[in-house]
Amino acid sequence: MGMTYIQKLLARACGKETVAVGDILELPVGLAMSHENAALVINQFREIYRETGIEARVWDPERIAIIFDHRVPAESSKTATNHKRTREFVAQQGITKFHDVRGDVGGICHQILPENGYVRPGQILVGTDSHTTTHGALGAFAFGIGATEMAAVWALGSILNVEAPGTIKVVVNGALPNGVYAKDLILHLVGLLSAEGANFRVIEFHGDVIRNMPTSGRLVLCNMAVEAGATAGVVPPDEETCRYLRDEAGVSDELDLFAADPDAVYERVVEIDATLLDPQIACPHTVDNVKSIGGLKGKKINQIVVGSCTNGRLDDIEIVARTLKGKHVAEGTRMLVFPASWRIYTDAMEAGYLRDLISAGAVVCNPGCGPCLGIHQGALGDDEVALATTNRNFKGRMGNPGAEVYLCSPAVAAASALTGTITDPREGN
């Protein structure tokens, strides 16, 4: 019986001929990523060693990545102290993939990993962040874990007692119409599957639309696979994967490329005709509450947020800058832009996008996660409504349980910024 991409990946990683769904495995970890919650991981890591008489050393300091992104620069003395302790741990353990609060190397973890060439096809990548699914866009088996789980990875180098997951195959054929993007596709899929439709499962993406999609779009799809509950999203690696890794991420070592078997067995196959898609909006307060834009046009918006690990990449900022160039964000609406990394920030600066955004009235902030989860900048007032290119709209998500968050593509965010209401980007201004 044939294997899905992830079954095959697991078999290779574990040195087995085959892996069946439900097999219980101990997976050797290729990369272990944490952000500010490294502070908790460090605490739990030391707990594991307590009273063992063994010196607490991480299994491989070159396979651990720590990226400060959730609260940068520190918003409180508590965060600053967590940062400080984590820096000391990094130095003590010799951890090499450390991205501090710096303009030359900083950014959001789910952009820093791909753009620095840390992600590989076939890799087992775990992160103490649910959006670790992002890295499946480059053919890794990448999934979120908790801090204690990560502490065990740091100690042992493997992720224990993992059950090989079943896979949902999503085939997207046709072509995305003008004004419709990867974000609309994944919102549509989350609406279709529901917030728990892929719980404990992998989503494997196929079809013409995926084949023709640049890595920036694939990262969006896999990023939000977790919003359908998926353990991981994955795009089996192809020419575009190699192009991105070679040309954009500076990877020169040999790549391990393989595909799912033609007779692989999937739990479910979902076919989507992209040609029929409209811009999609996820309405409060669940990500699977997805509607086509039609019925929502004219909804008043107080704050627009462009950025995050989902849609803060250069092509996202380009769409917004081109729409806003020479125009103005509507009176009564605030617009915040958070590029996903400082590399993207400086590229956008050199392309003139930041100037266009600022001249139009947008506030361009430093790269970081802050507003997406209501922990640092961009909080909402009582009864306010936000339209955001981020990935979650849960009650209280942007720092106020009395506010509402709608999720959309950068194109919808840009068109709506000009009018101050939800606006279809295909209708022009």
Partner 1 sequence: MAKGTVVLQLENDISTDIIYPGRFMATVLPSETPQFAFADDKAFNKKLNDGLIPAGSFIVAGDNFGCGSSREQAASCIKGYNITVVARNFARIFLQNSINVGLQMIICPEIDAGEGDELEVRDNRVVNLATGKSFAIEALPRARQAIIDAGGLIPYARHLLLERVA
- Provide the minimum distance between the beta carbon of 76 and partner 1 in the complex, in angstroms, as a whole number: 6
Q: Which ranges constitute the DSSP H helices of 94-232?
A: 109-115, 147-156, 182-193, 208-211, 215-223
- Quickly list H helices, 128-278: 147-156, 182-193, 208-211, 215-223, 239-243
Is residue 334 within a helix (H) or strand (E), and if so which, with residue range? strand 334-338
Smallest separation (angstroms) from partner 1 to the CB of 428 = 36
Beta strand pairing call for 141-144 and 124-127 = parallel
Which residues, in sequence order, are CB contacts of 76 under 8 Å at separation 6+?
A: none
C-beta separation of 133 from 215 below 8 A = no
Token pair listed for 360: 């139009």
Of the candidates 352, 298, 308, 354, which has an alpha carbon nearest to the alpha carbon of residue 330? 298
Helix (H, G, I), strand (E, B) or coil at 115: helix
* Cβ nearer to partner 1, comparing 23 with 278: 23
Dmax over Cα atoms in the chain, in whole Å?
Answer: 69
| Cα separation, 157 vs 28, whole angstroms | 6
> Least distance (Å) from partner 1 to the CB of residue 39?
5
CB 416 within 8 A of CB 304: yes
Residues 337 and 372: beta-carbon distance below 8 Å: no
Report the residue number, 152 or 349, with the smaller CB distance to partner 1.
152
Written as six digits, the tokens of 425 are 């980007």
Please report how close the Cβ of residue 59 comes to partner 1 at its closest, in angstroms. 10
Structure tokens that stand for 113 in this block = 């990993």
Closer residue to partner 1 (CB): 192 or 351 = 192
Nearer to partner 1, 319 or 372 (CB): 372
Q: Give the shortest CB-155-to-partner 1 separation in angstroms.
A: 6
Q: What is the Cα–Cα distance from 8 to 264, expressed in whole angstroms?
A: 10
The distance of closest approach from Cβ of residue 163 to partner 1 in the complex, given in angstroms and rounded to an integer, is: 4
303-307 and 385-388 as β-strands: parallel, antiparallel, unpaired? parallel
Q: Which is nearer to partner 1, 163 or 273 (CB)?
A: 163
Q: Which amino acid is at 88?
A: E
Closest distance between partner 1 and the C-beta of residue 141, in Å?
A: 14
Return the residue matching tokens 């989350």.
190
Smallest distance from partner 1 to CB 150, Å: 9
Copy the structure tokens of residue 258: 């393989």
| Smaller CB separation from partner 1, 403 or 413 | 403
What does the CA dihedral 7, 10, 137, 165 come to, rounded to 10 degrees?
50
Between residues 74 and 242, which has the closer beta carbon with respect to partner 1?
74
- Closer to partner 1 by Cβ: residue 74 or 171: 74
CB of 368 to partner 1, least distance (A): 13
Binding site for partner 1 (CB under 8 A): 24, 36-37, 39-40, 43-44, 47-50, 52, 54, 70-71, 76, 78-79, 82, 128-130, 132, 144-149, 151-152, 155-156, 160-163, 195-196, 199-200, 229, 231, 286, 288, 373-375, 392, 394-397, 399, 401
| Three-class DSSP category at 365 | coil
Closer residue to partner 1 in complex, CB, 112/162: 162
- Closer to partner 1 at the Cβ: 132 or 215? 132
Nearest-approach distance from CB 199 to partner 1, in angstroms: 6
**Which of 234, 259, 266, 207 shows the shortest CA–CA distance to 1?**
266
